[in-house]
Amino acid sequence: MGGDFHWVATEPSGAGRDILPADAVLFGNGRQALYAVLMEGRRRFGWRVCHLPAYICQSVVQAARAADMECRYYRALPAADESPDWPPFQSRHEVLLSANVLGFSGLDLVPPDWPNENRIEDHTHDPWSRAACESRAGYCLVSLRKTLPTPDGGAAWSPLGLPCPSPEALIPGHAAAGQEKLAAMLLKRHYLSGMAVEKEEFRAWQIQSEAAMSIQPTSRPLPVTASMLPHLPWRRWRVERARNAEYLTDRLLGSLTAPALEPDRREVLPPPTPRRFPEQCPFAVVLLCRNRRERDRLREALIQRRVYPPIFWPLPEEAARRHPEAADFAARMLALPCDFRYTPEDLEEAAEVIREFFQTEAG
Amino acid sequence: MGGDFHWVATEPSGAGRDILPADAVLFGNGRQALYAVLMEGRRRFGWRVCHLPAYICQSVVQAARAADMECRYYRALPAADESPDWPPFQSRHEVLLSANVLGFSGLDLVPPDWPNENRIEDHTHDPWSRAACESRAGYCLVSLRKTLPTPDGGAAWSPLGLPCPSPEALIPGHAAAGQEKLAAMLLKRHYLSGMAVEKEEFRAWQIQSEAAMSIQPTSRPLPVTASMLPHLPWRRWRVERARNAEYLTDRLLGSLTAPALEPDRREVLPPPTPRRFPEQCPFAVVLLCRNRRERDRLREALIQRRVYPPIFWPLPEEAARRHPEAADFAARMLALPCDFRYTPEDLEEAAEVIREFFQTEAG
């Protein structure tokens, strides 16, 4: 369980017709989409300062820096009891990026005092939430390969009808990175189907291709990605993700509330009630451990049973100092993937490893 | 019809278990396999001169030159009434490459006076012929992507048990070329399945990746290729190719022997009798036109009906001057693909275009 998507053969179906808003512009990846939007805002609206959540993927920060923005950070955690600590709106030269991190946020995405045209929303973790569909932000953007089995691809659109930038061509450097990712996905498929493949081979390609995903020049995505999008059954996949998340959350809560344990410092996110689908759909189930050490040992136990939970997001030292709450969340969290690839049996197996781990802890 | 293979999803089946001899060594492509064998022969046996058929793919010649061989050429055409004009064996420092060009040759591959250890056989166009299976040559080699839907791959083995060279690693340059080819194959699959793909996109990648296929350093093939080989149903595909060739040959002979035409200068190869399968299986059906002009006009007519027959092999000017018979064959030939991708209906359509063309010619 876990890790990047393998290749999923796509047949023409039309099931993905409305996978993105009609006016969405495709990019090579999400960071390119953000970079292009910020450059557009700089040129058209004089944006100079970008407010970002402190707890965010560093490629988002790098894209803002590449667009020569002065970056400021605000507190925003995907925890149940937290609302973002919105910065006040001060000037037309400022833009605020909010993100539906892990698919847990709802109307929380909208800071009350900010003009819509000075807002960007990142819907990568649930491109089909109500917040995304009903957004009134100046711009919305997504990275596609986080929720869909595409080798690359990002998109930007403007719910407000602002002019949306567009990449001119498929850039050779981006094409090479995307082709490497595609080869890794196919190889992973062969591996999973039982053919003679060394896992290290596709892992190395995955890592290399991710490292080669650049911010600029902005590029069109691989034509393979563009052509498959209108045929991907995203609705069904999203239902499966929501169902899997609910199932896994239930199983994990059982482990954490066993009397011998200390549930007060452990947490499973999102909380199982109220039912939020289809308004929201978790990107993954998050397990918050008591501390980094426990998390790391649990991760090791999971990896030994071939469950590979990603960690969102290791922060650079300076960011961690400025925002200890974000660093603490990143240090204690494990993301348990629950997308359409997994059956209840797969999830049960992961839950069982976690249950055993905590029982041993308590013993 | 025609052109490079699209991607064919491979499921584990074991159908390709004996797709190559057990001791075959995989390379990035066929020219690397030849280069490696020649370098091995140079080092071990003192090979300095390589005799090559004058009518051959130029990448074969380039591989021999890259191995610093003095290249000499002998007459050998895949025509029905021709035996190769074998050079005499003169010295242990010479090696002779024979090739089962277009899959038409049988025992013709073996020059009577040459010691086996000074012979290399190229079985690219029919790796599973009796001549290949029963070969006693020092080395045999194949390029895989000509008969199989793999993005890359070549192989060498020694029926005599001579030491066979082996590439040490997957070379990054080769990996990039192979990944580009793989992306082109997937895109072609999307195109054929009716998704929104511009043909120019995968065509450009096919051409670029072929141009990037290098001779040295020798490389392992993509792991995708190595892992799929043991599962490719080559036996079934070969039967289909033979059946298709027979079907198409029959249809074309009808066109050429119509009384109003001038059949004496036109020819269809291989001749339909005697039945040679499974000893041999044509790589393609060859139509020999009266002259280059007729061939080029017929090709144009086929392309307009979306049949893309390759031409084997345009010769460099110097080679054409030295071997006018090879140049004449190359100028008059069209290869009509007949592999497992095509149904009788596809072949009928191509035959119909050709019939119409010759009727108009005669009118």
Residue B87 has pLDDT above 50, yes or no: yes
What's the confidence (pLDDT) of residue A363?
Answer: 52
Q: Residues of B84-122 as b/e, b for ≥16 C-beta within 10 angstroms? A: bebbebeeeebbbbbbbbbbbbeebbbbeebeebbbbbb
Reported as a pLDDT band with limits 50, 70 and 90, residue B273 is: low
Across chain B, mean pLDDT equals: 93
Which value does ipTM take for this structure?
A: 0.90
Residue of A nearest to B151 (CA): A183
Best mutation target, B224, B228, B231, to test chain A (most A CBs within 10 A) = B224
What order do you get walking across the sheet with B154-157 strand by strand?
B25-27, B154-157, B139-143, B119-122, B94-99, B49-53, B70-74
Mean pLDDT of B79-99: 92
> What is the C-alpha separation between B315 and B318, in angstroms, rounded?
8
Three-state SS for B224-273 is HHHHHHHHCCHHHHHHHHHHHHHHHHHHHHHHHCCCCCCHHHCEEECCCC
Which of B175, B186, B201 is nearest residue A182 as measured by Cβ atoms? B186
**Chain mean position to CA A86:** 21
Q: What residues does B340 pair with on adjacent strands?
A: none
Contacts of A220 in chain B (CB under 8 A): none
Q: What pLDDT is attached to residue A261?
A: 45
CB A285 within 8 A of CB A249: yes
Blockwise average pLDDT, block size 10, chain A, 363 residues: 92 93 98 98 98 96 98 89 91 97 84 95 97 96 98 98 97 97 97 95 95 97 97 97 94 70 68 76 93 94 95 92 93 95 95 91 63
Task: Judge: A227–B197 Cβ closer than 8 Å, yes or no.
Answer: yes
pLDDT at A274: 63
Determine the residue of chain A that is closest to B9 in CA distance.
Answer: A9
> For B135-159, how does the pLDDT look when each residue is reduced to its tens digit (9 = 90+)?
999 999 999 999 999 999 999 999 9
Contact status, residue B98 vs residue B263, Cβ threshold 8 Å: no
What does the pLDDT look like over B11-38, one tens digit per residue? 999 899 999 999 999 999 999 999 999 9
Of the candidate CATH numbers 3.90.1150.10, 3.40.50.2300, 3.30.750.210, 2.60.40.60, the domain formed by B234-362 belongs to: 3.90.1150.10
Q: How confident is the model over B219-261, as pLDDT tens digits?
A: 999 999 999 999 999 999 999 999 999 999 999 987 776 544 4
Name the minimum distance, in Å, from the CA of A182 to any CA of chain B: 7
pLDDT value for A267: 84
The CATH fold of domain A25-157: Aspartate Aminotransferase; domain 2 (3.40.640)
CA dist A327 and A321 (Å) reads 8
Residues 178-237 of A with CB under 8 A from B: 178-180, 182-183, 186-187, 190-191, 193-198, 201-202, 222-224, 226-228, 230-231
Query: What average pLDDT does the segment B321-330 reach?
Result: 93
CB contact under 8 A, A228 and B193: no
